[in-house]
Amino acid sequence: MTVHIGAQTGDFAKTVLMPGDPLRAKFIAERYLANASKVTEVRGMMGYTGTYKGKKISVMGSGMGMPSMGIYSYELYTEYDVDNIIRIGSCGSFQEDVKVRDIVFAMGACTNSNFASQYGLPGTFSPIADYGLLSRSVEIANTKNIPIKVGNALSSDIFYDDNPKAWEKWSKMGVMVVEMEAAALYMNAARLNKNALAILTVSDSLVTGELTTAQEREKTFTDMMEIALELA
């Protein structure tokens, strides 16, 4: 049992799906998992374990930002014997051809965070997804005829940037989308010899200004959820 999660040993499956929003975790558990039971709700960060097509799977919120993801993913990997964490989150588009509701697999996660400084590396670390999870998820999407994009994401510590045009510099480097958790997840997985992948649905566009509502992000990004469930 950990102070941030509070579940018992064995409460989590080997694979955990992690939306940022705990209400999305609740929605997934109630809609897709059989015999789902709530295993944690410390600080309102709800987590559930059940079965999907006979396979034990867990789903739990991560909260917003890399410190929150860093805490929860670390504890799941080290204290609950979790091997795979699949982030299923929302993101903002940096590119004209990446539209609202498009699904993006984050092959890499650039960041403006100081998260990697803890490792004392003599250079810059590039957080990347697990290739096995990434390649399998592409196969699943293709089988389901769900269009996807694969590329680089930015994991940002900043939501309200004092420079509203800062995103354009990342866009020029081909970075597809911005979110706030994947880099910390990928670094924890690398350091602990575990596996991680971020599957993202575009909720808004910095290019066009289009955006979705909180309720839409909670309950309508089902293609992303179903790819992750099949992957798990």
- The answer on whether 88 is annotated among ligand-binding residues is yes
Catalytic option among 11, 21, 130, 204: 204
- Among 5-9, 55-59, 87-91, 197-201, the range scoring the smallest mean pLDDT is 5-9
Q: What are phi and psi for residue 59, nearest 5 degrees? A: -140, 135
- The answer on whether 20 is annotated among ligand-binding residues is yes
For 15-231, CATH gives 3.40.50.1580
pTM passes above 0.85:
yes
Higher pLDDT, 110 or 217: 110
Average pLDDT of every residue of the chain: 94
- The answer on whether 43 is annotated among ligand-binding residues is yes
- The answer on whether 204 is annotated among ligand-binding residues is yes
Residue 212: predicted pLDDT: 85
Higher pLDDT, 216 or 25: 25
- The answer on whether 101 is annotated among ligand-binding residues is no
∠ Cα 222 46 116 (to 5°): 85
Residue 13: predicted pLDDT: 97
Query: What confidence tens digit (pLDDT) does each residue in 179-201 have?
Result: 999 999 999 999 999 999 999 99
- The answer on whether 89 is annotated among ligand-binding residues is yes
Distance CA 209, CA 99 (A): 11
Residue 219: predicted pLDDT: 65
Query: What confidence tens digit (pLDDT) does each residue in 73-83 have?
Result: 999 999 999 99
Checking if the pLDDT of 218 tops 70, the result is no
Mean pLDDT of 119-138: 97
Distance CA 151, CA 108 (A): 7
Residue 44: predicted pLDDT: 84
Query: How far is CA 6 from each of CA 23, 24, 75, 169, rounded to the nearest angstrom?
Result: 18, 20, 10, 41
Amino acid type, 138? V
Query: What confidence tens digit (pLDDT) does each residue in 58-68 have?
Result: 999 999 999 99
String of DSSP letters for 86-105 = EEEEEEEE-STTS-TT-EEE
Which two structure tokens, joined as six digits, stand for 199? 């599957």
Relative to beta strand 103-111, strand 34-40 is unpaired
Mean pLDDT of 26-51: 94
11 among known catalytic residues? no
Query: What confidence tens digit (pLDDT) does each residue in 96-127 have?
Result: 999 999 999 999 999 999 999 999 999 999 99
Tell me the three state secondary structure of residue 16. strand
Q: For the CA atoms of 9, 74, 180, 22, what is the dihedral angle to 10 degrees?
A: 10
- The answer on whether 180 is annotated among ligand-binding residues is yes
Mean pLDDT of 129-133: 98
